[in-house]
Structure formats: structure tokens, C-alpha cells
């Protein structure tokens, strides 16, 4: 179960709380960045806000600064890991779009060539 259902904290909340180990590459008061455990590219990182928002569509006006912070961190982290010349950013919104953990997170993918015509992978 996930935070969207209200029953249990998501795996990302449990990682943020230190209950589950993860390879944390970056953290600040608003977010963390971890390596994806099932990478879809040579570099596949997740940027996760500490404050859980189930889906991007659930974000509101009060989340504007946090969402901006997350996007800026994508660029900072891409530079930190040396992939700032070419990377893809993906946010899945809802199960039909491939979201499996209902705690907003941004995928940073790099290390392979992407084609604009293949956005659906």
C-alpha cells in the first residue's frame, strides 16, 4: 500500500525516514536523490521530495516552490554525476502512466541516446 491509500508510508517515505537503505547521492531539507533499483538507463536516478505528494496532478499552489526546487535539483544533480549534456526527465502521473509508487518522484535518465519520436519508450 502507499500513502495515496492512507494505509502505510510509501517506500520513498521509508527511505527518507532511514527505515530502508538506499544509495543516496544527494539530500537537502526538501528532497533526496537515490539510484533507481531497476534502472532503465546507465544513469537512472530518482529525485524525491521529502513531503509526499501522491501524484503531480495532486500538487497545488502551496507546492510551487517545492516543484521548482526539484526541477533545479535535476540540473544540479545531472552536473554532479556528469550527465548534464544529455539526459531525460520523466514524471509518471497515475497507474495508467506507469506510476507504481504514489509519492511524486522525478526520473533522471542518461547514458543512452533518446529519440524525441520515442517518448513512450
Could you tell me the three cell numbers for 31? 528532497
Question: 3-111 in CATH: which number?
Answer: 3.30.428.10
Inter-residue contact 37 to 17 (CB < 8 Å): no
Q: What's the confidence (pLDDT) of residue 6?
A: 55
Inter-residue contact 59 to 104 (CB < 8 Å): yes
Question: How many Å separate Cα 117 from the centre of its chain?
Answer: 23
* Among 120, 60, 71, residue whose Cα is nearest residue 96: 120
Every domain of the chain and the residues it spans: 3-111
Q: What's the confidence (pLDDT) of residue 116?
A: 82
Q: What's the confidence (pLDDT) of residue 62?
A: 97
Query: Which residues are known catalytic residues?
Result: 105
H or E segment and range at residue 13: helix 11-16
Q: What's the confidence (pLDDT) of residue 120?
A: 62
Per-residue model confidence as pLDDT tens digits over 55-109: 999 999 999 999 999 999 999 999 999 999 999 999 999 999 999 999 999 999 9
H or E segment and range at residue 32: strand 31-35
Q: With bands split at pLDDT 50, 70 and 90, how would you rate the model's confidence at 19?
A: very high
Question: How many Å separate Cα 109 from the centre of its chain?
Answer: 10
Q: With bands split at pLDDT 50, 70 and 90, how would you rate the model's confidence at 8?
A: confident
Amino acid at each position: 500500500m502507499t500513502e495515496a491509500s492512507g494505509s502505510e508510508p510509501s517506500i520513498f517515505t521509508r527511505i527518507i525516514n532511514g527505515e530502508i537503505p538506499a544509495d543516496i547521492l544527494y539530500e537537502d531539507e526538501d528532497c533526496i536523490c537515490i539510484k533507481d533499483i531497476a534502472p532503465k538507463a546507465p544513469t537512472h536516478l530518482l529525485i524525491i521530495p521529502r513531503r509526499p505528494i501522491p501524484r503531480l496532478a495532486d500538487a497545488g499552489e502551496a507546492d510551487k516552490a517545492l516543484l521548482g526546487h526539484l526541477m533545479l535539483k535535476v540540473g544540479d544533480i545531472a552536473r554532479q554525476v556528469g550527465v548534464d549534456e544529455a539526459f531525460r526527465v520523466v514524471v509518471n502521473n497515475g497507474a495508467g502512466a506507469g506510476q507504481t509508487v504514489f509519492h511524486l518522484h522525478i526520473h533522471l535518465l542518461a547514458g543512452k541516446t533518446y529519440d524525441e519520436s520515442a517518448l513512450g519508450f
